[in-house]
């Protein structure tokens, strides 16, 4: 896996110095995945491309240098942890509602000596109460449809920061349906960019929502309300 990662990182124009730690993380992921549900992707080459290089591609699309970043619904650590491994100046918070996944992330951080990464077991809409507008950037992949995801993520982002939503290239309609939520929550769509994952035929999309005003205090609502009546 290490060679594939090194090649992919070079293709993205990134330093291949992170390939070793990413490969160790990949080995831990595949080992733990035998006893708990962390990922449906089990072929090491696919893990390299669809988890690590997909996450790494964000570094080519946004400046993460020295930024505080929260990964909302990080699961087994994507995209946040590869970003932190490849850009050590990132101050990372990994957030997930499932305790077992957060325990796995703590194990990975200990094994890779990433002592400054915060692994938090919480629902995003509850975490916002104590961490409102605290982060330069929020990132998220494969958690919810954009109108819901905006309500979970945008309250965490400071004005002047951004929420980066990783989506499929077929997300035009999803983006259209989120326009009202984006506006209501104090953001605007500042960029929509498709990117290729090296070594594959796969193209994904990064939607950048810039926070331009504070989010009204009534958001986020309780999850039952968010789900029942998305903005
Ligand atoms: N982002 C990872 C990835 O792309 O591989 C994980 C995606 S997984 C399909 C969705 C994750 O979001 C799950 O681990 C789930 O527990 C978490 N999640 C869903 N709703 C959440 C919420 N409201 N707050 C925090 N985590 C949430």
Question: In order along the chain (231 residues), what is the average pLDDT of each group of 10 residues?
Answer: 96 95 97 96 96 98 98 98 97 98 98 96 96 98 96 98 98 96 98 96 98 97 93 93
CB of 54 shorter than 6 A to ligand 1: no
Question: Is the C-beta atom of 151 inside 6 A of ligand 1?
Answer: no
Tell me whether residue 205 is in a domain.
yes
CATH classification of the domain holding 215: 3.40.50.150
Q: What angle do CA 119, 124, 126 make, to 5 degrees?
A: 105
pLDDT of res. 126: 96
| Cα 34 to Cα 39: distance, rounded to the nearest angstrom | 10
Please report whether residue 132 resides in a domain: yes
Cα–Cα distances (Å) from 21 to 42, 108, 113, in that order, read 18, 10, 10
Residue nearest to atom 13 of ligand 1 (CA): 75
Find the domain containing 162 and state its range.
48-228
Query: Does 137 fall in a domain?
Result: yes
Q: Does any domain span residue 6?
A: no
22 in any annotated domain: no
Say whether pTM exceeds 0.85.
yes
Residue 25 domain-assigned (yes or no): no
Q: What's the rounded Cα separation, in Å, for the pair 211 and 229?
A: 22
In a domain, 90, yes or no: yes
Quote the pLDDT of residue 143.
Answer: 96
Structural domain count, the chain: 1
- The answer to whether residue 119 is domain-embedded is yes
């Amino acid at each position: 896996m290490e060679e594939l990662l090194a090649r992919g990182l070079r293709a993205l124009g990134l330093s291949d110095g992170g390939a070793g730690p990413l490969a160790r993380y990949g080995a831990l992921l595949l080992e733990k995945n035998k006893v708990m549900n962390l990922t449906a992707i089990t072929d090491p080459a696919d893990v390299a491309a669809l988890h690590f290089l997909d996450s790494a591609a964000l570094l080519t699309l946004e400046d993460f240098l020295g930024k505080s970043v929260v990964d909302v619904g990080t699961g087994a650590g994507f995209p946040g942890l590869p970003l932190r491994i490849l850009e050590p100046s990132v101050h990372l918070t990994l957030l997930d509602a499932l305790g077992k996944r957060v325990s796995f992330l703590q194990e990975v951080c200990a094994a890779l000596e990433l002592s400054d990464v915060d692994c938090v077991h919480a629902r995003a809409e509850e975490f916002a109460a104590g961490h409102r507008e605290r982060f330069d950037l929020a990132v998220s992949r494969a958690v919810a449809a954009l109108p819901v995801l905006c309500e979970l993520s945008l309250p965490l982002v400071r004005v002047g920061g951004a929420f980066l939503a990783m989506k499929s290239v077929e997300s035009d309609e999803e983006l259209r349906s989120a326009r009202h939520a984006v506006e209501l929550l104090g953001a605007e769509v500042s960029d929509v960019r498709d990117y290729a994952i090296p070594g594959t035929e796969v193209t994904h999309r990064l939607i950048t929502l810039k926070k331009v005003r504070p989010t009204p205090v009534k958001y986020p609502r309780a999850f039952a309300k968010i789900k029942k009546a998305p903005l």
